Amino acid sequence: MSGARMALVSALLGLALWQGAVWVTGLPRFILPGPLLVAETMWTSRALLAEHAVVTLAEVLIGLVLGTVLGALSAIGLAASGLARQMLRPLLVFSQAIPVFALAPILTLWFGYGLGSKIVMALIIIYFPVTSSFLDALLRPNRDWVGLARVMGASPARIMWHIRIPAALPGLASGVRLAAVYAPIGAIIGEWVGASRGLGYLMLLANGRAKTDLMFAALIVLAVLTVILHAVVGRAARRVLERY
């Protein structure tokens, strides 16, 4: 069975379990709306959902691009310098020990309630996976290739550019694929803390008005955007690897 068919079967199974839970528990719709009610809300509120989804998608894409570029450059710099790895690698690990929720209010205070704070949140949450995956791959090159290049008089910069970076591209691709899943988390957390637009803001607004069906609709839109983003990034990464 193909991947698309498996995804369709999984989605139908999830919807069936969801509807079954609504029937069995008998909970009111403002606590647990059924999938049909959520689908109806998605259709009637499609313009509202699209308006906020565009904002969240912009935050995610900008954060993903900046985080990937910054993470890749950081990994190359750390791989090129042993002293930099000894000094900065512990800081990278320590940065992941700080809860993202704790940073969100500070970033909102610094960068405001607009796109800036959400982009920075997305960048922070994806920076470590990209840097870590790419750095690990850069530090494990083919020793025979590196040895041959040194015998032929290649400089460390040429070895890095022509051997270590191309060989480490699969590691970078893995990090970017993870980042495509993590980036929406940072954007939504930023919107929860302080925003006037975006799917996270729409969820809070719907929660305050007890519109649970709209909350579920926004959540489903976010999940669909994340899946599509992951698929697009994965396909782009495969094409780059096939070429280089």
Between the alpha carbon of residue 4 and those of residues 8, 10, 129, the distances in Å are: 6, 10, 27
For residue 98, give the DSSP letter.
S
pLDDT of res. 2: 59
- Specify the length of the chain in residues: 244
> pTM (2 decimals)?
0.82
CA atoms within 13 A on the CB side of 4: 1
Q: Which fold has domain 32-243?
A: MetI-like fold (1.10.3720)
> What parts of the chain have a pLDDT lower than 70?
1-4, 7, 95-96, 142, 144-149, 151, 153-155, 244
Q: Rounded to whole angstroms, how far apart are CA atoms 169 and 68?
A: 12
- Whether the Cβ atoms of residue 104 and residue 121 lie closer than 8 Å to each other: yes
pLDDT of the residue at 83: 75
Pair of tokens at residue 198: 């975006």
pLDDT for position 147: 63
Domain boundaries, given as residue ranges, for the chain: 32-243
